[in-house]
Structure 1
């Protein structure tokens, strides 16, 4: 424990004044979060990123550790290059067993075939890992006072500030999006006050790699694939770094052991004043006025293909810290400022992260200061971890090797939640990151479809590092039986088209992939049940099992999610192709499939069933809510078009409750509840997320209370809030669909709708029973604008308009291309 951790003084107004002095611009209340002490562990570290590189700042004044990350650093175990075992020859027989209700026999035959065909075993994803750590040991006189560490959302700066012996010190770091650099600026209020030692080292806890179940499981994969080499391989599978230092440069090169790949870290030291010297793996800076450190991380394949010379040239050509920060504001800052969310905070107080979390845990109300910060943190985190990949389970940040679930992209809910707000938040850059990854891994989906389903087209695996998606994660839990993956993964991309009308994206990127998924359904759906409906067999509802007297058996038939994804994808394709006059023969086939899909079922509780089969009973106590796909992310189930299914989905959501206690379960149910107009459930789940130790002191979320570092819930929060304030589907926008009256007054800016219109701004006041919105349409169109209140007045640009009184009350807005309209609602 550092001296500061032992003697720390709590955050004070004086400390904030110190920080503000050093910040590039004044920080608005919700546009930052701050901690009153250094991070006790890496999970509490503050984070910054440009999508490709990320940093985690611990914040110890004496012994700073900036953990370095890169989006493509996955420890190469060899598992992801192993194709799924080919069981295609037995699929017709397996399907017949499922049709006959002999689920255990079907499962037994599947596993028997796996063994006969040489299945290597249950293989994990290559695990995400840190690149290393920049260690800054700083010397100064006196004890620390007025300490703070701040995350500034608008420019991505992580600011650590303190006072010692009358001198104000500051370390500010960020990861530049436009200039591809990690920049750190160390300064003091008195010249010649900076004395420090710099070095780069591995961020590896070798003892921890041997301790827990997950890490041991990954090592078993290594033994399985490389039995003849296991004694010569280290844990983890990297060699010691090739590390050199000079007065100006730190160079840290790391080779992987299993593949001829590696990565390189190059750091440049720029000191103003004082003396700089190098020796024994570190650079010493004495009596400096200012020290800037610029760092870049690159992957290399083969390892001998070093990029160090190019990286040095890049870093040498960059401007000052202030110039880099100005460019960052024009890039990252512009993205961040596209949206805004504010609540009335009367009766509540702001504070440090620790203070807010402590008080929120004891308050049945939601503290709007904390909710605003978490909304902004979610927007900030999504921007900061969207590069050539979208955010993985840990965003782009980890301080440990071989994190649980490999820190991968888990495609059966988690990555879907990560990008749930990308479109409505107006972040096409995040969707491009997401689509770029899908395009990279999609060729493997054809192998999955053929080997596991005896089908053509695309079938996605349940886990990926973003490099490959061969579905080798099979043999347990029914994961091999999931047919809905590719369709769900493409949903945000189709939503992007609904929001923007981007025809180039549709025609060149999205439509070819949708056609491949449709081809899967055309060839996979070749078995019918006793009613003449197509049978989804095998079928899996992530990651649940029916509640039956039989032993647990996840792979059965007719998972509601499988049906819903198929229905959505083919319906969307029909709309596109009929508008464009494309593929009439295939359109006819798709319509035939839609006409013969099994119907959704409602159980004796009145809940939408998770499996559309009478013999398969629901199991409510689960963190996934996949069977409600038709509600979210699909637009299929809504109160106007499908009132009976809508009510059944509401019952199912209530039965699901708190999502089995996982943060992503709470977030998933929160998104569903917003679509189902269940304002009490939305409020309850938001309260649960912010009050039950799902938040680290950095305001990064965990999977469960105070446990595994995962950002899926964090990145879902802005989506939940936007969905509770504005709902949209083509031709329809609804205001305040699921906003609890606990949020008495507030405003929101920049909600992008799925009808090529944007709610530029909206404010509401439940006390005065009024709402105002400014809406702009990109195209000439009519939009139904709805609100679930008993309207007494509706004004458009100050003029009264006709109200169609129903539930919800509705007015019609006729837009010219690019036109904006101001709407005012008042109700009883």
Structure 2
């Protein structure tokens, strides 16, 4: 007995040492040890999909319900869509371009829309849906009478945990989606031997499906309706109990521990190639982990995830200490917004969702990230490029997840190929263009209806992300690699811009101001986007010292583009004509793009336009759908009105589902943003707005606490990134700045500004500079 105890003690010490080395080793220079524990926590299982908790590794997504008698895990694989490789261009469309323009010039909007609908739209006119993949079900017998139930998603580990007690036995489930191993791992334990028993099986809501069960595994095969894609998913069980096959289900008995590994794949390779072999890929993926323990897979997952997550911290006071369930905190915040920890949790959750839905080598996040449970999801769960896709990536550089931006750049590479075909067929122009909606097949032509589908700002807005990534990273190799995308987008607009016969300005026609006002000539947003693209393309060519002949041709064009105008109501005009309706409370505020995310309109260079933009926003009002509220938070932060921004944050963090049964813009119990229904862009846009309250760097300087709300009088941020290649950490108390630390990644000159104080200094790459709250240099 003593020998056994001695061996047990040795094993315990070895395991303890391994975990100490694993988790206490000195972190990399760019990793900050986390202090705040951010968790979404609940005292009941989810009944609705918007109460379930999301997991993801960029390609495999899961929604975990956390039931007691039955666990339900609905899962997705990012490439399972309807449709097939397809060229969406409408051949011969360019023959009608001049006619449409002339009709718009002469005020015949309805006729222009009719001709455009018949001759200018995508073929076919609708795009294709993103699909759910399948469902994992786990049934537990005799678990009806339970106690001590707890369900949580730990953002520090990206692990979902469910625990409860039945007859003095504690049952625990851990679930996570691993990027290194490309699997979803489910671990089930009981505190007493031979007390864990369950039935496990796969299913799907697809009509065309089949399930094959073997000794310790089960395989689900699905085929989408109206398309060529098929999916294969397999789960495999490892346990210290017994496994039997009963009526098409895997039954585990007499166990105390069981681990399930699940993976999925489709035959999609890229938007032109569907020759993949998921039947081979899935078993190959599982073979790599079948001999690995759950602890080993978990350790690999944690190392990968925390290398990204731990770079950044945000605290608004006593962080993460609330013991109330998250759904209760959302409800309480809607009545008394005195939970600053919830605001910090919201940013941490957005970072978590970014890591979970957008990793290098994956597709970019859709309107719903990678999470969808419907065969016909809202708005096809696609990529809407007239704000929503871009909003998904607004905070990604600031909150130190630059790698997670990469899927968007790959997407732009793809869309430049299909967009070049659309540019030629629809506008008889070189370069590339994309309209307001894109699916996995990279349809770039105008879809749905001409009055909102013909929008011409997509290539310019997407290209701005390339430039922004460069500004934040100062990575010239990246800029050189992606510069042709910016250049060819600018080439398109240089040939597309049209001289307005009424004013002589160069304008964008036909187009629209998303998604209001119908088909028009010269929407303000387009002109802001095109000017910004020309300006950044010129700057990029000078940095790279190449393509100067082409970019020099953009400067005179830029000067002729129709300027921003102030209308009769003191507003920034949304269109060429002064026809804005001050009673309109439309969710889109597109003509303020130059305030945010652009910077053409600002207090230093264009104070009159800034005031006009503010007037426009006041007319639009403070209500809106989830993502619209998020954008307005960013606007008010740029207007340096933190209290107004916080007022809208209060709305964004209010319950989406109200007592009267109605659903409005706000947050679901799992903190998903409600358009409604769920759209993930509001989560990312809201996080961006919060960060804009505490740091802005769009005007060649770093402004600290430019729009700090009185409701957030104290806080600390570590690892926030500013343009110019700077990483900062700073804190504040009683609304006043304290210590500031600036790390220079690229050796650029730095200007810090706080209130009416500023300091300019040279930096060296790799060095850190410290200042006090008055911006006096410290050691």
**What TM-score, normalized to structure 2?**
0.89
Pick one of 36, 40, 52 that aligns with 2:43: 36
Other-structure match for 2:29: none
Other-structure match for 1:335: 308
Between 1:600-609 and 1:133-142, the stretch displaced more is 133-142
Pick one of 102, 120, 126 that aligns with 2:108: 102
Q: Deviations over 1:493-513 (max 9, x none)?
A: 2111001111222111x2111
- Is 1:459 aligned to 2:407, yes or no? no
Pick one of 217, 227, 238 that aligns with 1:249: 217
- Is 1:317 aligned to 2:288, yes or no? yes
Distance 1:582 1:331, change over 3 A: same
The 1-side partners of 2:281 and 2:132 are apart by 22
Other-structure match for 1:785: 752
Instruction: Please list every run of 5 or more consecutive structure 1 residues that lacks an aligned counterpart in the other structure.
Output: 1-23, 205-237, 546-553, 789-807
The 2-side partners of 1:260 and 1:533 are apart by 47
Other-structure match for 1:214: none
Contact 1:122 1:476 in 2 (8 A): no
Distance 1:199 1:88, change over 3 A: same
Distance 1:503 1:613, change over 3 A: same
The 2-side partners of 1:818 and 1:303 are apart by 45
- Is 1:362 aligned to 2:329, yes or no? no
The 2-side partners of 1:534 and 1:556 are apart by 14
Pick one of 710, 725, 749 that aligns with 1:756: 725
The 2-side partners of 1:395 and 1:64 are apart by 23
Secondary structure of 1:430's partner? helix
The 2-side partners of 1:516 and 1:601 are apart by 28
The 2-side partners of 1:770 and 1:422 are apart by 24
Other-structure match for 1:211: none
Please list, as runs of the form range in 1=range in 2, the aligned pairs for 1:261-280 lying within 5 A after superposition: 261-272=229-240, 274-280=241-247
Contact 1:440 1:467 in 2 (8 A): no
Q: Deviations over 1:492-543 (max 9, x none)?
A: 22111001111222111x2111111111112111423444211221121111
Deviation at 1:470, TM superposition (A): 3.2
Other-structure match for 1:217: none
The 2-side partners of 1:347 and 1:431 are apart by 28
Contact 1:245 1:279 in 2 (8 A): no
The 1-side partners of 2:81 and 2:187 are apart by 29
Pick one of 772, 775, 779 that aligns with 1:824: 772
Distance 1:699 1:516, change over 3 A: same
Between 1:92-101 and 1:645-654, the stretch displaced more is 92-101
Secondary structure of 2:459's partner? helix
Q: Deviations over 1:387-438 (max 9, x none)?
A: 3112111111122221111111111111111111111111122110111222
Distance 1:687 1:821, change over 3 A: same
Pick one of 80, 88, 101 that aligns with 1:73: 80
Contact 1:200 1:252 in 2 (8 A): yes
The 1-side partners of 2:542 and 2:277 are apart by 51
Deviation at 1:176, TM superposition (A): 0.3
Distance 1:588 1:528, change over 3 A: farther
Contact 1:30 1:373 in 2 (8 A): no
Pick one of 686, 689, 705 that aligns with 2:652: 689
Deviation at 1:664, TM superposition (A): 0.4
The 1-side partners of 2:165 and 2:645 are apart by 43
The 2-side partners of 1:163 and 1:633 are apart by 50
- Is 1:735 aligned to 2:741, yes or no? no
The 2-side partners of 1:652 and 1:497 are apart by 31
Contact 2:435 2:456 in 1 (8 A): no
Deviation at 1:113, TM superposition (A): 3.7
Deviation at 1:367, TM superposition (A): 1.3
Q: Deviations over 1:731-753 (max 9, x none)?
A: 31000011112211111111111
Deviation at 1:121, TM superposition (A): 6.4
Distance 1:130 1:531, change over 3 A: closer
The 2-side partners of 1:180 and 1:452 are apart by 41
- Is 1:394 aligned to 2:375, yes or no? no
The 2-side partners of 1:86 and 1:748 are apart by 55
Pick one of 145, 148, 153 that aligns with 1:146: 148
Secondary structure of 1:810's partner? strand
Distance 1:81 1:41, change over 3 A: farther
The 1-side partners of 2:108 and 2:473 are apart by 47
Q: Deviations over 1:241-272 (max 9, x none)?
A: 23111121111111235444301001111111
- Is 1:90 aligned to 2:38, yes or no? no
Deviation at 1:458, TM superposition (A): 1.3
The 2-side partners of 1:577 and 1:261 are apart by 41
- Is 1:308 aligned to 2:308, yes or no? no
The 2-side partners of 1:376 and 1:296 are apart by 27
Secondary structure of 1:294's partner? strand
Secondary structure of 1:669's partner? helix
Contact 2:642 2:707 in 1 (8 A): yes
Other-structure match for 2:15: none
The 1-side partners of 2:114 and 2:572 are apart by 30
- Is 1:809 aligned to 2:768, yes or no? no
Please list, as runs of the form range in 1=range in 2, the aligned pairs for 1:522-541 lying within 5 A after superposition: 522-541=494-513
Instruction: Please list every run of 5 or more consecutive structure 2 residues that lacks an aligned counterpart in the other structure.
Output: 1-22, 25-32, 657-665
Distance 1:520 1:248, change over 3 A: same
Contact 1:36 1:354 in 2 (8 A): no
**What TM-score, normalized to structure 1?**
0.84
Secondary structure of 1:750's partner? strand
Distance 1:114 1:511, change over 3 A: closer
Pick one of 663, 677, 680 that aligns with 1:711: 680
- Is 1:471 aligned to 2:445, yes or no? yes
Deviation at 1:615, TM superposition (A): 5.4
The 1-side partners of 2:529 and 2:563 are apart by 13
Pick one of 70, 90, 93 that aligns with 1:63: 70
Deviation at 1:479, TM superposition (A): 1.5
The 2-side partners of 1:304 and 1:764 are apart by 56
Q: Deviations over 1:193-218 (max 9, x none)?
A: 1111110001x2xxxxxxxxxxxxxx
Pick one of 730, 733, 744 that aligns with 2:713: 744
- Is 1:651 aligned to 2:651, yes or no? no
- Is 1:664 aligned to 2:666, yes or no? no
Please list, as runs of the form range in 1=range in 2, the aligned pairs for 1:765-784 lying within 5 A after superposition: 765-766=733-734, 769-784=736-751
Distance 1:148 1:141, change over 3 A: closer
Pick one of 512, 517, 521 that aligns with 2:489: 517
